[in-house]
Amino acid sequence: MIGKGFLIGISIGMVLSGCGTKSKTPQETPTSGTIHISVDESYKPVIDSQIKVFNSTWPDAHIVVDYRPEAQCLRDLTTDSTRMVLVTRGLTPEEENFYNDSFHLKPTFGVLAYDAIAVIVNPANKDSMFDMKDLVNILNGTDTRFQPVMDGSSATSTVRFAIDSILKGNPLGKNVMAARGSEDVVNYVANNPRAVGFVGALWVGDRDDPADTSFLKKITVAAVQCKNCVAGKYVKPWQANIAWGRYPLVRSLYYILKENWSGIGNNFVNFLQYERGQLIFSKAYMWPAGMHFEIRDAELSK
């Protein structure tokens, strides 16, 4: 069961095991050496792809990645060993000051791409369209017809989004179940007709990924009331709906980099921000933040 309170972010007063600036070692260059990063677990499918393509170009640049809940990623960043995280928010001014005081550097951060929280239901569930009010009632426990399930009992990005953006700061209901991760959310929904799951859209959106294709056979991706459409229209978390602002549960993927020299971290960020990395985000049905893609209306001729 998920508790009511979560510590999201970084405790400024925490004691660090080492507070010196992570300096370049003689063995590391932008294209060779090893870097440790922590990544929000809900982005595992696309970041696995990014690292694979990055390594095909720079095989001597080793990225050791840990997939964790978002709050744990941010805690990892306060250690010397983790130089970069990929999460769904940037740093607050207070957090920037903390790093400046503790590590004598100011981390860089920015948006790489946009994705969404998908609402998924069991195929036997006749309800597959929801208003935002419906989601509020499911998550706060008012609507007892459904069993909501999320991707963890700690402060994951999905949990934070639900509290901040759906419940507007109010706590989750005691009825919300915690799965061990995104894949377990999908499996739980697939096996429980009353379940309503909340999961990163990457886990159910990449139709070119054999694993995602098998997921889509087991669950139904629900439609949510459109933000910028005529009344009564419901949309799913597909790429065009994210790009046009139609889908209401959109979030951003940020990088936060603690590297004040040109190392593997900066090289990887550049890769993610420019053509190849942005195209990988696009292929994963996210909306790239660093490249301009045009969406045009089209008509099929008979």
CATH of the domain at 179: 3.40.190.10
CA 42, CA 22: separation in Å to the nearest integer?
27
d(CA 191, CA 219): 9
- Whether residue 239 lies inside any domain: the answer is yes
User: 22: number of CA atoms within 13 Å, CB side?
Assistant: 25
Same domain, 195 and 131: yes
d(CA 148, CA 298): 38
Joined tokens for residue 16: 């660090």
- Identify whether 24 is part of a domain: no
Q: For residue 80, how many other CB atoms are within 10 A of its CB?
A: 16
Are residue 109 and residue 135 in the same domain, yes or no? no
Q: What is the total count of domains within the chain?
A: 2
Query: Is 255 found in the same domain as 234?
Result: no
CA of 47: how far to CAs of 223, 272, 291, in Å? Answer: 26, 10, 18
Q: How many residues does the chain have?
A: 302
Q: For the chain, first and last CA: distance in Å?
A: 54
Q: Is residue 15 part of a domain?
A: no
Note whether residue 12 is domain-resident. Answer: no
Sorted by sequence, the CB contacts under 8 Å of residue 14 that are 6+ apart come out as 78
For residues 109 and 138, membership in a common domain is answered with no
242 close to 115: Cβ distance less than 8 angstroms: yes
120 and 228, same domain (yes or no) = yes
Residue 276 and residue 171 share a domain: no
Shared-domain flag, residues 109 and 124: no
Same domain, 137 and 227: yes
| Domain membership flag for residue 14 | no
Per residue of the chain (302 residues), what is the pLDDT tens digit?
444 433 334 443 343 334 444 445 557 899 999 999 999 999 999 999 999 999 999 999 999 999 999 999 999 999 999 999 999 999 999 999 999 998 889 899 999 999 999 999 999 999 999 999 999 999 999 999 999 999 876 689 999 999 999 999 999 999 999 998 888 999 999 999 999 999 999 888 655 555 555 556 789 999 999 998 877 799 999 999 999 999 999 999 999 999 988 999 999 999 999 999 999 999 998 999 987 555 555 555 55
| Contact between residue 69 and residue 156 where contact means Cβ atoms under 8 Å apart | yes
d(CA 260, CA 297): 44
If asked whether residues 136 and 220 sit together in one domain, one would say yes
Q: Is residue 23 part of a domain?
A: no
Residue range(s) defining the domain that contains residue 278: 33-114+251-288
Global confidence as pTM: 0.84
Say whether both 92 and 133 belong to one domain.
no
From the list 46, 84, 56, 58, the residue with the least C-alpha distance to 182 is 46
In a domain, 52, yes or no: yes
Contacts of 89 (CB under 8 A, 6+ apart): 70, 252, 254
User: Are 66 and 137 within one domain?
Assistant: no
Residue 169 lies in a domain: yes
Structure tokens at 283: 């292929």
Same domain, 260 and 196: no
